[in-house]
Amino acid sequence: MGREIREEEPARMPTMVLNHVSFVVQSVSRSVSFYEGVLGFTSIKRPSSFLFKDAWLLSNGLGIHLLESTEPEKLPRKKKKINPKENHISFQTSDMELTLFFHDPDGYMVEICNCHVLPVLPLPRSPVGSAALSSPQLKKKYIYITIFSRTINVPSEEH
């Protein structure tokens, strides 16, 4: 008689909420101006234990931590094209019908969307990409623009 081995599901982390995202930037003051002026964030007091140039901003419970690079020449090159399939931060608003993508001053992609209109449907556990929503009502329209540029390109496409 051997020992009985029971397989148990691993314990899960308690429910969490996203607190903040952080970006390494060329200029904290330039990025603060952008996030306050364009996206409506408010600067908040930063922890005094940090011994580097940074800033904390807050909007609707989401924080952005901006860290000034000590070697800005080593930062990744700014991207010129918008690609919604790349890493980005998305902000939800109720007063837009289209989804808007643009870059911040350091080339980080920002999305403004009306994502609240999309249904939230839990899926059974399955391999990533095996279950997708496909409905004509779920198609989004996108606007791609470049900010801080002399030219503005605003094509609208249905996906």
Q: Where are the alpha helices (DSSP H) in 23-62?
A: 28-37
As a whole number of angstroms, the distance between CA 77 and CA 26 comes to 11
CA-nearest of 130, 129, 132, 98 to 113 is 98
Q: How far is CA 63 from the centre of its chain?
A: 11
Taking a C-beta distance cutoff of 8 angstroms, is the pair 110, 64 a contact? no
Question: Of the listed 36, 111, 157, 158, which one is catalytic?
Answer: 111
**Is position 111 annotated as part of the catalytic site?**
yes
Distance from C-alpha of 60 to C-alpha of 51, rounded to nearest angstrom: 27
HSE-up (13 A, CA, CB side) for residue 122: 2
What residues are labeled active site? Answer: 111
